[in-house]
Each structure stands twice: as structure tokens, then as C-alpha cells.
A and B are shown apart, each in its own frame.
Chain A
């Protein structure tokens, strides 16, 4: 038997599999031949027989090569993994030897990665996660464009025209958002919010109730039995999630509504205040009407229809409708937007900007760690040089260094995920209310995957530059330099570049947050046009049995009287809508006697108010008189106009006494009131028309669900009088509920909540960036001083004054800072444009902000430079030289 002398062939050049198989087969054929010859065959016969025994040798050989190649592949994979594991264990050992460095680096990265992951999880929840619909990307919402301005709502005739386009839309549903049902039969009547929808609504969304049934067409006919579908949340909180809810009735203003279904739980994410869905029940007249635009329209695209074709069809539909109604403006258009986009709105941009900002912070953190690694790389250059001299390849050395940064980044990411868990909770609790779907933000699988990718990218960013540099061609010199530093360290462009980068990134962030801070200050200074302190507001809804306009007016008058008698109430008034609540009613008007075309008429918001509204709100009153109790349905029609409207109607003339035509009515202007910021503080006051609530037409009462807002100016804190106010209202009619109670200061501050939230986040990120950047500057200058102690000593020994050393160090430290500030200015000018829509009263390229931020940054950077520079000045020549 042959004996195998073992030796490892893995050190040799690995033979190709083909050669291996050929050699092995040749040996076998030879051995068979020898055996056959020994048995008496002729050599030729023996060879032929030996080959024959292999069968089709080419096929057998191919099969062997196939297995052999698979074997080699899995071997080299295993080998690579083994080496990587070696590198990682080695890195871990190295890091344990320098715990200070390791902790600094890991914590820095963890903060950056954690903040990034938290912002990403908000972005994912709000913007990226799919809607809980079947084929959600096929659902669109229409947006009308009338005389150039976008409008969300459509007329009945337009809805019918959109429905007719069955070529483009499978289903079209009309929706009235913000509807309310008054539940009676409870101790205190309660209003639940929800939507009135046409029967196709759930078909458009492709959603079925989790319990019970969907709406069917017969539910949607006027006069059909009242039915309602309730939200999962309402079902769980009110009815303990009992299945028996289906078929039960709710008492709504003494009418019985049968509960037919419960929506799925994930549907709550779309809007927490939607507690019910009830049929809209448009009559034939409503569906043919060209007036009364109050319905939003959503649709499911027909198979194969693109968004562009859907917009085309919508445009054609509204144009066709407009042609049938020649009195109205013909300047109409419409488009279809993905439903997800209308839900997400401008949060997509806001959150992307935030993600960009937090990405910058992470980048600064990475640069800081890269700097630390670079400094360490220099210290370790000798060790690496020795390893290289012992035969480790350059690639292997780089991989070793990258393994180290990978270990750091993964450790940072692990800690970062823990930080993100907490940060997301903080983010969600601090966020302004009404950010869609934010409540569902959390660290989920997608966020973890994102964090992992971020960590890998970080490890490359922090590892690649230092490793290329350390393992680079300068390696040999470090042996010669006695380990004092990598070659050519006299000038250190790479490190200076990193510092400049940090400064530039921090400057960009600070400029952005500076602009938002200035915006917030400007907003704070805007006079809203009313005095918000000590104002309480609450919406009142009169039940459906109040049909007669005169009865409604009388009841509201009684309520106002009762409210004004509540102790602590100075003024009480009624208004159809308070400012800053996004519920404007709008129309167009013309001065009497002037015929204006549909396109020339003046657009205005309008409100119905009681007497004393302007005093209650603390608005200025410019001219004429307030409404009076006698301005009732039997009296001549009167109105009060805002200063902005007066200026549009009769520029330079006195408005009081003049007459206007509006909504096929004529009325006399009896007063001019001061302007109010209605839509938002950042939006200029809109022209507004005020009319006495006693003159409200019956049709308007129906459209507003017989609802007015009770506004009271109080002496004590407004919230404290709410119970007494409720009692006063119930003394008039115990079935009238109060809804949306809130002080005007709360309404005012929540109107600024979005911009304040953004400012706060960006400012926080800016401060973190500033701190990180100054740590980076400090680290680099301190390192420079420690590496140059000997040189400084020599210079001082040769007669250099401390002042000269001071100048040397400052010069070295400040030059990259100045370059960074210049680059940061350019970068700021390029990026702050993204903030344009969030700014108010300040331009994206505001020079003051840039200058202040630049000065702040330079100041902090100089402070970070001074400490090590002072240390350099105190270097004793003798000790510096002795240290060598």
C-alpha cells in the first residue's frame, strides 16, 4: 500500500480544477495499465482497456470539475470568513486595549446613528409605509384648480361628471370630511367626528370592515334607514370590542342609527379623529348642482390608467361641467394626486429635510471618529509597518483597519438602536398633533435594516480614509522615523481637510436652524389681529329638529345671553368659525352697480357673527358700527367688511354706507373691521366679509349643520369657566353638545406648532453639530501640539518667544476652520433653499443669519483651539528635548 506523505498544498498556487482532474485520471489509467500488463495484456490493449473503463471520459471529467469548482468556492468563502473573523477578534482586542478611544468613538457614532434611525422611523411611518388598502397606489384624490388656485372640493355636477368617466375610474366616491354626529341618550350629549361618504367609498379604498358589512348602494339613497360604520378605536373604547355591536343602534339626535360594521384597526392611523363613517346620501338635485362646493372626491383608477391619464380625465370632466354653467368662471382645471400624497402632504419634504439634517450630524460624527482613527493610525503606524514587513499584504492591512471601523460602527449602531427606541418616543410625544400616521412610528424591521446599512456606510466613511493613508506608500518611512508619525506629517492636509469638512457641515446645519429660529421670532411678532389671551372657544351644534331659521337664531341668541351671564365672562359672542382653524367659507362678491365677469369678482372669506364679536375677540374696529340685535331676518341686510376687503372694493374711499352684491343678495356695509390672520400667521390676512348670524339663510344653516362657535372673553383662566359655560348652554337646551373646546391661545400656538417643532429639532441638531465639530477641532489641534512638542521645544530653545509658538499653533488650527467656514457658506446657500417653504420673514440666503452663524462657529472653534495652544506655550524646552 502506498503511504501518503502529508503536506499541505494550500500554500502552493492552487491548481486549476481541470488540471487536478486530468492528473488524477492519468494516474488512474497508468495504474490500471500496469495491472493489466502484469496480468499478461499487451501495453496497447491494456491502455485501451484502461481508458474504456472510464466510459465517456469527457463527461465524467466535466462532472468531477463541476463538483470540484463548487468545493473551491465554498472553501474560499470559508477562508475569507475565517480571516475576517480573525481581523474582527484582533480589532476587539485592540479596542479593549484602548478603552478611552473605543468608548469615545462608539458613543459618538451611537448618537449619530441613533438620531438618524429615529428620524428615519418617523419618515417611514409617515411617508414610506404603505396605506392599509388593496393596491393603495391606485387610489387618487382629485384637486380642482379654479382661477389658478387649488381647491380640494367639488360640486355635485362635477362629481357626476367624474363618475361618468368610467374609462378612467373604476369607482368615484364623494366624501365630506369633518362631519359630526351628536350622540344623545347619554348623560351629556357627545359629538363624535367622522366622515359622510358615498357608498363607493370603501370600494375605492379596497377595504372591508373587520366585523360586519360594507355600505351597499341602497344605504346611500336618501330616506334609507340610517346606518353607520364605526372605527376600531371607538369600538374598543366605547363598546369594549364586543362583536354584538353589529345591529345595535346608536341614538343620534333622537334618531336610530344601526351599526353595520367596524373598520380595521390599521385604518385608525389615517386620522385619529375619524370615529364613524355614514352614508352621504346625495339627492338627484345635489348631484346636478353647480353650487355648494363642499365635497372631496377620491377614486380608484381603472386598470391600466396612469396618473397622467387620470388627471386628463378629471380636467376634461370639470371643463365639461363648467361649459354647462356659463355664468361661472370657465378658468377651471383639475388633477389627480395619489391619495398617499394628499395624506402625507408637505411632511414628506419636512421629514426628508430633517433626515438630511440628521445625516449631516452623523457625517460630522463619522468625521470625528475618522479623525480619532487617523491619530491612532499614526500612533500605530509602526506596528502596521512591522506587520507589513513581516509579509502582510497591503489589502490585508487595509482590511484589518476596515474591520476595526466595522466593529466600531456596528457597536455604535447597536447602542444607536437603543437610543433610537427612546428618541422615537420623545419625537412622537413632542410632535405637533395631526402629523398623519406618526403614532405608529417605532423601531421596526425596516428601521433596523436601514440602521444596519447606515452602519456599514459609516464604517467605510470612518475607515477608508485613515486606512488608505496608514497602509499607504508612506508606511516604510514610519519605521525610519522611530514611530513618531507617518511620513510627511509636517503638513497634514488630510486632517485639515477633515476639520474643514466638519466646520462646513456644522455651518450648514446651523444656518438652517438659524433661519428657522428667525422665522419663529418673526411669527411671534406677527400681530394676529385679535387678543388671544383669556379667550375660550367651543363649537355648538343644534340638533336636526331645529329646522326653522328663526328658531335657530332665537336659540343662539338665548345661548349667547346665558353665556354672557356666566360669572367671569366679560364678553360672549358667536361666530361661524374662529380664525386659524382651517375651516374657511369662501365666496365672491362685487360692489353694487358694477357688473363684473365671473373672473373679475372679488374672492373673500365670509363669516356669520353675533353682536359684540369684534370686542370679544379684541379686534380693532376701524369705521362704522357693530351688528345689533335688531339686525335680524326682518331688518335690511347688512354686513361688516375687513379692511383688506374694503381696500379691494373701494380703494381710497369710505366703505361704510356703500352696498355689495354677494350670493345673489344685496347688503349695506355698516362697518369696517381690522384684519385678522385667518389661515396662518405666515399668510397675509385674507379679505373677510362678516354678516349677522340672524340673517343667515336657511340653506346655509343646513350646510354648516346649524353650528356656531361660542367665543367668550373671560377674567379668570379660560379653561376654568368651561363647566359653567356648559351648564349655561344646557340651560337653554340640554341636548346641545359642546365640541372642540379650546382656548384661543392654544389654537394660536398649535397653528405655530409645526414650525416650532421643526425649529426645535433643527436647532437641537445644530447644537449637536456645533459640539461635535468643536470636539473635532480641539482634538486635531491638541494632537498637533502633542506631536510637535519636540519641535516646539527646539524652537523655544533656539529663542522663539511664546508669542511665536502661539501664532504657529493658532495658524495651524485656524486655517482649516476658515476654509471650512467658506465652504460652509457656499453649502448653506445651496441647501437652505430647500427650507424656503418653511421660512417666514427671512430669505433663505439671509446675510445676517450667515454672519451670526459664521461668527458663532469661528468663536467656538477659536475657543477649541486656544486650550491646546496655551499648553504649547508652556512647553519647557528642556523637558521636550529630554522626552526624546
Chain B
């Protein structure tokens, strides 16, 4: 599997995972990922938004304009059934990828 696809796939998986609990706006997704990974994974805005629009086009996400707790208009993304299937697939592939490279890079 080409490295760029792997990276795409990983970002997609992280975003879909973030949205699988509840709808979030873009900033919220970044915060969610940063908090869960203790700021180890720093997703850039320049990668996040094209990924969101792409996934929305492909029907993995739907977006709606809503209002935040602070009363600001924001675009909220939520995951679709199709998105959940994609998340499962990505997770499985990621797991097998890690299982494959771990003994190579980190020999016991």
C-alpha cells in the first residue's frame, strides 16, 4: 500500500472516529484528536478541511450549519452509515499494517 494512501487513510480514520461519538465542527475535530493523542498527533488545517470536503462529497459525512454553545454559526459534521463502514474498514487495515511493520521496526 503506498505511503500517501496510508496517511490519507489514517487521517480519514481519525476524523471518522472523532465524529462517531457526536457531530463536531472542524476546530472541534482538531481539538478532539489533539486531546486523545496528548498532542502527539498534530493534524494540520490544510490537510483536515480538504479531507472533510472530500468525505462529504463521498457521502461518508454530512454537514449542517448549526450554532455553537457560544452562539456562533459553525458547520457541524456528522458521520453517516457509509462513513461508519469506512471507519471499520480503515481501522482493520491500519491494524494489520501495524501488525505487519511492528516486528520489522521494533524487533522484540
Among the stretches B8-16, B47-55, B90-98, the one at the interface with A is B47-55
In the assembled complex, the CB of B76 is this many whole angstroms from the nearest CB of chain A, namely 4
7 additional contacts (CB under 8 A) given A2-B70, A21-B49: A2-B67, A4-B23, A4-B78, A25-B49, A28-B27, A64-B49, A64-B53
When chains A and B are docked, how far (Å) is the Cα of A8 from the Cα of B65?
8
Within 8 A of B (CB), among A1-46: 1-9, 20-21, 23-25, 27-28, 30-32
Answer whether residue B84 sits at the interface, using C-beta atoms and an 8 A cutoff.
no
Ranked nearest first, the 5 interchain pairs of A and B with the lowest CB-CB distance are A4-B66, A2-B68, A67-B53, A55-B46, A71-B57
For the complex, is A803 an interface residue (Cβ under 8 Å from B)? no
Q: List 20 A-B contacts (CB under 8 A).
A: A3-B66, A4-B64, A9-B64, A21-B53, A23-B73, A24-B25, A27-B75, A28-B26, A28-B45, A53-B45, A55-B46, A57-B46, A59-B46, A60-B46, A60-B50, A67-B54, A67-B56, A68-B53, A68-B57, A74-B57
Total number of A residues with any Cβ neighbor in B under 8 Å: 34
In the assembled complex, the CB of B67 is this many whole angstroms from the nearest CB of chain A, namely: 6
Query: Is A54 an interface residue when CB atoms closer than 8 A count as contact?
Result: yes
Contact string against A for B residues 13-30, beta-carbon threshold 8 Å, 1 for contact and 0 otherwise: 000000000111111100
Q: How far is the CA of A60 from the CA of B46 in the complex (A)?
A: 6
The reply on B36 being an interface residue by CB < 8 A is no
- On whether the beta carbons of B49 and A1 are closer than 8 Å, the reply is no
Whole-angstrom distance between the Cβ of A602 and the nearest chain B Cβ: 85
Q: Please give me the residue from chain A that is nearest to B42 by CB atom.
A: A53
Q: How far is the CA of A293 from the CA of B75 in the complex (A)?
A: 89
Interface of A, helix, strand, loop or mixed by DSSP: helix
| B70 contact set on A, CB distance < 8 A | 2
Q: Is residue A70 within 8 Å, beta carbon to beta carbon, of the partner chain?
A: yes
The answer to whether residues A2 and B74 also contact, given A28-B26, A28-B45 and a CB cut-off of 8 A, is yes
Q: How far in angstroms is the closest Cβ of chain A from B85?
A: 19
Q: Is A237 an interface residue (CB 8 A)?
A: no
Question: Does the CB pair B64–A2 fall under 8 Å?
Answer: no
A24-B75, A64-B53 known; A54+B45 contact, CB < 8 A: yes
Contact A27 B27 (CB under 8 A): yes
> Which B residues from 24 to 45 make CB contacts under 8 A with A?
24-28, 44-45
Chain B residues with CB under 8 A of A2: 25, 28, 66-70, 74, 76
**In the complex, chain B residues whose CB is within 8 Å of the CB of A70:** 57
Complex CA gap A7/B24 in Å reads 15
Interchain CA distance A55-B48 in the complex, whole Å: 12
Q: Contact at B46–A24, with CB atoms within 8 Å?
A: no
Query: Are A56's CB and B67's CB within 8 A?
Result: no
B interface, CB within 8 angstroms of A: 22-28, 44-46, 49-50, 52-54, 56-57, 64-70, 72-76, 78
Cβ of A837 within 8 Å of any chain B Cβ, yes or no, is no
Chain B contacts for A66, CB-based, 8 A: 53
Cβ contacts under 8 Å, B27 to chain A: 27-28, 31-32
Kindly state whether residue A63 has any CB partner on chain B within 8 Å.
yes
Chain B hits for A5, CB < 8 A:
66-67
> Which chain B residues lie closer than 8 Å to A68 at the CB level?
53, 56-57
- With the chains together, A56 CA to B49 CA distance in Å? 13
In the complex, what residues of B have CB within 8 A of residue A31's CB?
Answer: 27
Q: Which residue of A is nearest B57, CB measured?
A: A71
A53 (CB) vs chain B CBs: closest residue: B45
| A27 engages B53 (CB within 8 Å) | no
**Chain B residues near A63 (CB-CB < 8 A):** 49-50, 53
With a CB–CB cut-off of 8 A, which chain B residues contact A60?
Answer: 45-46, 49-50
Of all chain A residues, the one with the shortest Cβ separation from B50 is A63
Measured in the bound complex, the distance between the Cα atoms of B68 and A752 in whole Å is 89
Chain A residues closer than 8 Å to B68, beta-carbon distance? 2
- Using Cβ atoms and an 8 Å threshold, which residues of chain A touch B50? 60, 63-64, 67
Q: Which residues of B contact A27 (CB under 8 A)?
A: 25-27, 72-75
Binding site for B on A (CB under 8 A): 1-9, 20-21, 23-25, 27-28, 30-32, 53-57, 59-60, 63-64, 66-68, 70-71, 74
User: What residues of A have a CB within 8 angstroms of the CB of B25 in the complex?
Assistant: 2, 24, 27-28
A60 CA / B47 CA spacing, docked (Å): 8
Instruction: Flag if B66 contacts A24 (CB, 8 Å).
Output: no
Beyond A25-B49, A28-B45, whether A6 also contacts B66 by CB under 8 A is yes
Complex Cα–Cα for A64 and B46 (A): 10
- A532 vs chain B, min Cβ distance (A): 78
Closest Cβ–Cβ distance, residue B39 to chain A (whole Å): 12
For B24, B26, B54, B57, which residue has the most chain A Cβ atoms within 10 angstroms? Answer: B57
Q: Do A24 and B49 have beta carbons less than 8 Å apart?
A: yes
> Whole-angstrom distance between the alpha carbons of A8 and B62 in the complex?
12
Residue of A nearest to B32 (CB): A1
Q: B73 touching A54 by the CB < 8 A rule? A: no
CB atoms of A24 and B26 under 8 A apart = yes
Q: Once bound together, how far apart are the Cα atoms of A32 and B25, in whole Å?
A: 13
Given that A4-B23, A23-B73 are contacting pairs, would A67 and B66 also be in contact in the complex, using a CB cutoff of 8 Å?
Answer: no
Chain A positions within 8 Å of B23 at CB level = 4
Q: A27-B25, A68-B57 are in contact. Are A56 and B46 (CB under 8 A)?
A: yes
Task: State in angstroms the CA–CA spacing of A675 and B4 once bound together.
Answer: 93
Q: Report the bound CA distance from A6 to B22 in whole Å.
A: 13
A32 CB to closest chain B CB (Å) equals: 7
Q: Cβ of B64: which chain A residues have Cβ within 8 Å of it?
A: 4, 6-9
Chain A residues whose C-beta falls within 8 Å of the C-beta of B65 in the assembled complex:
9
Pick from B44, B69, B76: contact of A55, CB under 8 Å: B44
Contact in complex: B45, A55 (CB < 8 Å): yes
Q: Which residues of A are found within 8 Å of B76, using beta-carbon distances?
A: 2, 4
Please, how many angstroms separate the alpha-carbon atoms of A30 and B56 in the complex? 23
Q: How far is the CA of A4 from the CA of B69 in the complex (A)?
A: 9
Residues of A within 8 A of B28 (CB): 1-2
Which residues of the partner chain B approach A55 to less than 8 Å between Cβ atoms?
A: 44-46
Chain B hits for A1, CB < 8 A: 22, 24, 28, 69
What separation, in Å, do the CA atoms of A67 and B64 have in the docked complex?
16
Measured CB to CB, the nearest residue on chain A to B53 is A67
Indicate the member of B27, B53, B54 with the most A CB atoms within 10 Å. B53
A-chain residues with CB within 8 Å of residue B57 when the two chains form the complex: 67-68, 70-71, 74
Chain B nearest Cβ from A125, distance in angstroms: 47
Compute how far the CA of A678 lies from the CA of B72 in the bound complex, rounded to whole angstroms. 99
Q: How far is the CA of A104 from the CA of B69 in the complex (A)?
A: 63
A55 to B44, CA, bound (A): 8
- Min C-beta distance of A390 to chain B, whole Å: 28
A78 to chain B, nearest CB (A): 10
Chain B residue with minimal CB distance to A52? B45
Q: How far is the CA of A315 from the CA of B56 in the complex (A)?
A: 70
Closest residue on chain B to residue A27 by CB atoms: B74
The answer to whether B53 touches A71, judged by C-beta atoms less than 8 angstroms apart, is yes
| A321 → B minimal CB distance (Å) | 72
Cα distance A1–B24 when bound, in Å?
8
- Distance (whole angstroms) from the CB of A630 to the closest CB of chain B: 101
Contact B69 A71 (CB under 8 A): no
Which residues of B sit under 8 angstroms from A74, Cβ to Cβ? 57
Which of B22, B46, B52 contacts A54 (CB under 8 A)? Answer: B46
What's the Cα separation between A71 and B23 when bound, in Å?
20
In the assembled complex, which residues on chain B have CB atoms less than 8 Å from the CB atom of A71? Answer: 53, 56-57
Please, which residues of chain B bring their CB within 8 A of the CB of A25?
49
A66 to B57, CA, bound (A): 10
Per the bound structure, the CA–CA distance linking A60 and B26 in Å amounts to: 14
Q: How far is the CA of A104 from the CA of B49 in the complex (A)?
A: 58
| Measured CA separation A604–B26 after assembly (Å) | 97
CA distance A74 to B54 in the complex (A): 13
CB distance from B84 to the nearest CB of A (A): 18
Residue of A nearest to B68 (CB): A2
Structural contact, A53 and B53, CB atoms closer than 8 A: no
Which residues of B have CB within 8 Å of A30? 72
How many Å lie between the Cα of A21 and that of B76 in the bound state? 13
Nearest A residue to B21 by beta-carbon distance? Answer: A1
User: A20 — nearest CB in chain B belongs to which residue?
Assistant: B75
